[in-house]
């Protein structure tokens, strides 16, 4: 083997965020930049020599080049075997499943999730551990520490591997298995849901759905699931061919960036059901005819109807939600007599709860839901869950949600995103709020009295680890909430997220427009935080 040891110097900006290292493509294209981070991963994983790793990504620009580099570095670092998705394609939930199914040591996933792609778009690299979930903070901190001291990396001088053909290859002494990216995941979904019932729905002639894959990774999976295995007509899946630049679009399944799907579902002769997934396939948006399902409500509805799904018919161990996610699922958990855990944002925090058997379903307001079948959120799993519920209940999306509100009350909920804000100004806004926290309790703002205010801290009930500074909460005596967070998923400037929530038990008031219902809280957030002043924006970039 011709292993090269290449001298290098540290980069100062390789600290992983909640989902790995995300940067613009030109940053990763700098000499040694990708290699430094990958070598830091290998250097931080004692015992990885001779082990099996999983490798793949969402098909965005530079993924295939990065995969070839990672394969050669893995061979040089003594990895025993790599399982890589055919074409370099592997959705994040599928990668999690393949790690678990093969009892692999871990996996490297190349994705910047819902961020734009292309030569001037974003790229991401994250490491997932043996349980299939994102690396916990102790691992990412070790990787970051290594990036600050690295002085060389190892790489095998060898020809590229043919990623477009399923089969076995050798790279030095390392085995490379190019695997079917789709079939193992389809088989997993078939083991969880009642495919016969869903197929009967999709082939009845009375039900029409539209699945928008946004030219991202779920296209091949969606074609295989809905049009091939479940019998939906050709054309059910739109934008189903993965493209390096996501067709010039923004692969984020929300009301702004998935606007084509929204227009279809709110247009004339709309289908009964619509869904979209993101760049790497872990997020989902669900729509009924002329009806949008808020992700917080979606988690609550799935929890309330889990008994209809074969895999969850024996009951749920518990549920978990991220702190900014609405408390809608808390009410369902209370009714079912199961625990509901409130965690920081970031799927890795759900991993310990799932591994310990404390939770079965998990969800975040940022269009992510999942269960104990993998250790990532899972967009197509959520779509199948909804279809299974619709098939079992024989009701529309809107009927199911309105029935849920009738029983549990409605949590009016919205998130306002201010993207690419000046980082210093965004931090100044947060620091101003932090300074107010000690004196907020008992303060009166019009009809609102502050019940509590804090910077959310989480103590993991499984391992006792503590995660501080997870977002500023201001709670009021009527159950309303304001939450302020700086997101860790962007690559330019800062993204300020502001969350608004109020609870309404009276069904006669459930038809009020969400932004109108939340207007007093929206105005109050401006009064307290001076958002317009600090962001220099009159309106949010995205409202969901």
Enzyme catalytic residues: 113
Q: Are strands 318-322 and 291-293 parallel, antiparallel or unpaired?
A: unpaired
The runs of H, that is alpha helices, within 343-438 are: 348-355, 379-393, 397-408, 423-436
Match 């909804």 to its residue by tokens.
Answer: 386
Structure-token pair, residue 117: 């792609």
Cβ neighbours of residue 325 under 8 Å, at least 6 residues apart? 295, 296, 299, 363, 364, 365
Q: Is 490 helix (H, G, I), strand (E, B) or coil?
A: coil
DSSP per residue over 39-88, as a string?
HHHHHT-TT-TT-EEEEEE---TTHHHHHHHHHHHHHHTT--EEEEEEEE
Angle, vertex CA 90, rays to CA 89 and CA 95, nearest 5: 160
* CA pair distance 129, 53, nearest whole angstrom: 10
The backbone torsions φ and ψ at residue 330, rounded to the nearest 5 degrees and listed phi first, read: -60, -40
Signed CA dihedral, 519, 522, 524, 527: sign only: negative
DSSP-derived secondary structure for 222-267: HIIIIIIIS-PPTTSEES-S--TTGGGS----STTTTHHHHHHHTS
Element housing 485 (H / E): strand 481-486
Q: Which residues of 441-477 are buried (b: 16+ CB within 10 A; e: fewer)?
A: eeeebeebebbebbebebebeeeeeebeebbbbbbbe
Looking at the DSSP assignment, which residues form a beta bridge with residue 371? 361
| DSSP strand pairing (361-364 vs 368-371) | antiparallel
Distance of CA 243 to the CA centre of its chain: 20
Two tokens, residue 14: 């390789």
Q: Can you tell me the distance from the alpha carbon of 246 to that of 26, in angstroms, rounded to the nearest whole number?
A: 18
Q: Which 8-state DSSP code applies to residue 17? A: B
């Amino acid at each position: 083997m011709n292993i090269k040891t290449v001298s290098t110097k540290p980069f100062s900006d390789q600290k992983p965020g909640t989902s790995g290292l995300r940067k613009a493509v030109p940053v990763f294209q700098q000499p040694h930049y990708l290699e430094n981070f990958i070598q830091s991963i290998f250097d931080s994983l004692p015992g990885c020599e001779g082990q099996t790793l999983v490798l793949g990504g969402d098909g965005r620009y530079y993924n295939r080049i990065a995969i070839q580099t990672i394969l050669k570095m893995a061979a040089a670092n003594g990895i025993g075997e790599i399982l890589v998705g055919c074409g370099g394609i592997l959705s994040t939930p599928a990668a999690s499943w393949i790690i678990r199914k093969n009892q692999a040591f871990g996996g490297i996933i190349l994705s910047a999730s819902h961020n734009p792609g292309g030569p001037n778009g974003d790229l991401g690299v994250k490491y997932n551990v043996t349980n299939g979930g994102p690396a916990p903070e102790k691992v990412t901190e070790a990787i970051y520490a290594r990036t600050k001291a690295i002085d060389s990396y190892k790489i095998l001088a060898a020809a590229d591997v043919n990623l477009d053909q399923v089969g076995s290859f050798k790279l030095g002494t390392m085995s490379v298995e190019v695997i079917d990216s789709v079939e193992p995941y389809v088989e997993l979904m078939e083991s969880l849901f009642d495919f016969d019932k869903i197929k009967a729905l999709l082939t009845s002639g009375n039900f029409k759905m539209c699945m928008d894959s946004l030219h991202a990774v779920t296209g091949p999976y969606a074609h295989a699931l809905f049009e091939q295995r479940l019998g939906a007509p050709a054309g059910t899946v739109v934008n189903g061919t993965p493209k390096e630049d996501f067709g010039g679009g923004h692969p984020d399944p929300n009301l702004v960036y998935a606007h084509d799907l929204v227009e279809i579902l709110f247009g004339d002769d709309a289908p009964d059901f619509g869904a979209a997934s993101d760049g790497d396939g872990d997020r989902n948006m669900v729509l009924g005819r002329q009806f949008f399902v808020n992700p917080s409500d979606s988690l609550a509805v799935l929890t309330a109807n889990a008994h209809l799904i074969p895999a969850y018919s024996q009951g749920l161990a518990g549920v978990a939600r991220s702190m900014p996610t609405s408390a809608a699922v808390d009410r369902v958990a209370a009714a079912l007599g199961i625990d509901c855990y409130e965690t920081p944002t970031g799927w890795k925090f759900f991993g310990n709860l799932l591994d310990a058997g404390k939770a079965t379903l998990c969800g975040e307001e940022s269009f992510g839901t999942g269960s104990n079948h993998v250790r990532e959120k899972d967009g197509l799993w959520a779509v199948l869950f909804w279809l299974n519920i619709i098939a079992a209940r024989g009701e529309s999306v809107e009927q199911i949600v309105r029935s849920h509100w009738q029983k549990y009350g409605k949590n009016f909920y919205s998130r306002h995103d201010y993207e690419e804000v000046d980082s210093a100004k965004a931090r100044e806004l947060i620091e101003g709020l932090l300074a107010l926290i000690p004196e907020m309790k008992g303060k009166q703002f019009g009809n609102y009295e502050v019940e509590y205010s804090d910077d959310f801290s989480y103590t993991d009930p499984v391992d006792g680890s503590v995660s501080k500074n997870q977002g500023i909460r201001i709670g009021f005596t009527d159950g309303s909430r304001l939450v302020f967070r700086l997101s860790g998923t962007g690559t330019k400037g800062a993204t300020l997220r502001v969350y608004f929530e109020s609870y309404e038990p009276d069904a006669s008031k459930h038809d009020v427009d969400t932004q109108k219902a939340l207007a007093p809280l929206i105005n109050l957030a401006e009064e307290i935080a001076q958002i317009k002043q600090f962001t220099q924006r009159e309106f949010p970039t995205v409202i969901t």
